[in-house]
Amino acid sequence: MADPHTGHLADTPSTASTTRFAASSMLIPASAGVSFKHTHLDDILADRDPVGFFEVHAENYMGDGGFPHRALERIREDYPISLHGVCMSIGGPEPLSRDHLARFKALVDRYEPGLVSEHLAWSTHDDVFMNDLLPLPYTDETLSHVCAHIDEMQSFIGRRILLENPSTYVVFENSTISETDFIREIVSRTGCGLLLDVSNVFVSATNHGFSPLSYLMDYPLEHVCEIHLAGHAVQEDDEGETLLIDSHDTRVAEAVWNLFEIVVKQAGPVPTLVEWDSDLPAWPVLKSEAAAAERILDDVATTFLMGKRHATAS
Ligand SMILES: [Fe+2]
C-alpha cells in the first residue's frame, strides 16, 4: 500500500535484485522529478540541487549495454528512478510478450526503481508494434483482460505496478463502464496503484467535452502514488473543433497546473513527474518546470503538516 501522504510504496524490492544500491535509495520522495534525457546528463551532474527523482522509459534501456546504460547507471548512483513502460500493451486482447516481460524484469532487478508503471492502453497486434498508445473500450470483457495482464506483470516482475490513465482522441460506442469506474475496479481486483496523468485528463476532457474537474472528483485519488504533468499541442480537427495532442514537447499549461493543485490538495503530496520527451529544452527550462511543481507540493505539504498538528492538539 502507498502512504497517502508521502506516496511511498511499502513494496519490498524484488528478491532477485542485486542490492547494489542502498535499500533507502530506491524510495522516491513526494517531490518533483523530470524525464531523464541523455542530453541533460552533464548539466544534471554539474547541478548541486537538480530534482527529487528521474523517470525513464523502460523500452529505451532494453539493449544490453552502451552509453544509455552507462548514463542511467551514473544517474542511479545519486538518485532514485521511476521505471515507466510504454509497450507492454496491457490493454490489448493478446497475451503479454514473455520476451518483453523478461526484458522489463531485468531492468527492475538491475536498477531497483522506486516506482514501476505502465499504461492503460494497447500498442501491439500480432507481430506489429505501434508507436501509439491506443485506447480500449471499457467493458466487462476488456476489464477481465486488463486485470489478468496486470496480475501477470506484477507476478512476473515481483513488484506492484502503477497504472496510468490514457489521453484519448476517440471514444467507443460499446463502452459500458466509465473510465473512472473501470480504473477503480482494476485497483480493487489487482491491488495495483495508480499513476494519475493530470495532463491526460485535461487533453481527454477538452477533446470529448467533459469536465476535467468532475472526472478528477470521481477518480480514486486515494490510490494515486505518482502524478504526471506534461505540455500539450493545440490543433484543429476536420470540423474545426479544438483538438489537444498529448505531445510532451512544451511547458505545462496553466489550466493543468490549476488541476494539479486541486488534486494534491485532495490527495496530499505525491511524487510528481514533469514529462518532456521531444523538442527537449535546455536543462534550466526543464528544471524550472519541476520547481513550479515543487512549490505547489511544498505548499500542500505544509498545509497537511499543520492539519496533523491541529488534529494532535485537539
Ligand atoms: Fe504520462
Taking the centre of ligand 1 as the mean of its atom positions, its distance from the CA of residue 115, in whole angstroms, is 14
Q: Assess if residue 202 is contained within a domain.
A: yes
Long-range contacts of the stretch 265-268 (C-beta < 8 A, 24+): 265/300, 265/303, 266/221, 267/4, 267/221, 267/222, 267/224, 268/4, 268/5, 268/6, 268/7, 268/30, 268/300, 268/304
pLDDT in tens, 71-85: 999 999 999 999 999
In this structure, how many other beta carbons lie within 10 angstroms of the beta carbon of residue 243? 16
Q: Count up the domains in the chain and report the number.
A: 1
Position 131 scores a pLDDT of 62
The C-alpha cell that represents 115 in the structure block: 516506482
Position 267 scores a pLDDT of 93
Q: Assess if residue 44 is contained within a domain.
A: yes
Residue type, 180: T
Q: Assess if residue 105 is contained within a domain.
A: yes
Q: What are phi and psi of 273, to 5 degrees?
A: -105, 130
Taking the centre of ligand 1 as the mean of its atom positions, its distance from the CA of residue 310, in whole angstroms, is 36
Position 25 scores a pLDDT of 75
Taking the centre of ligand 1 as the mean of its atom positions, its distance from the CA of residue 197, in whole angstroms, is 5
Quote the CA–CA distance of 163 and 151 in Å, as a whole number: 12
Q: Assess if residue 48 is contained within a domain.
A: yes
Taking the centre of ligand 1 as the mean of its atom positions, its distance from the CA of residue 198, in whole angstroms, is 8
Q: Assess if residue 104 is contained within a domain.
A: yes
Taking the centre of ligand 1 as the mean of its atom positions, its distance from the CA of residue 275, in whole angstroms, is 7
Taking the centre of ligand 1 as the mean of its atom positions, its distance from the CA of residue 73, in whole angstroms, is 23
Residue 211: domain span: 23-313
Taking the centre of ligand 1 as the mean of its atom positions, its distance from the CA of residue 195, in whole angstroms, is 8
Maximum distance among all alpha carbons in the chain? 62
Taking the centre of ligand 1 as the mean of its atom positions, its distance from the CA of residue 303, in whole angstroms, is 27
Taking the centre of ligand 1 as the mean of its atom positions, its distance from the CA of residue 42, in whole angstroms, is 25
Taking the centre of ligand 1 as the mean of its atom positions, its distance from the CA of residue 58, in whole angstroms, is 14
pLDDT in tens, 3-17: 333 333 334 333 334
Q: Assess if residue 281 is contained within a domain.
A: yes
Taking the centre of ligand 1 as the mean of its atom positions, its distance from the CA of residue 4, in whole angstroms, is 20
Positions of the chain with pLDDT under 70: 1-20, 22-24, 124-131, 308-314
Position 1 scores a pLDDT of 35
Q: Assess if residue 168 is contained within a domain.
A: yes
Q: Assess if residue 4 is contained within a domain.
A: no
Taking the centre of ligand 1 as the mean of its atom positions, its distance from the CA of residue 309, in whole angstroms, is 34
Residue type, 255: A
List the CATH number of the domain containing 208: 3.20.20.150
Task: State which residues have CB under 5 angstroms from ligand 1, the bound ion.
Answer: 197, 228
Position 304 scores a pLDDT of 74
Taking the centre of ligand 1 as the mean of its atom positions, its distance from the CA of residue 37, in whole angstroms, is 16
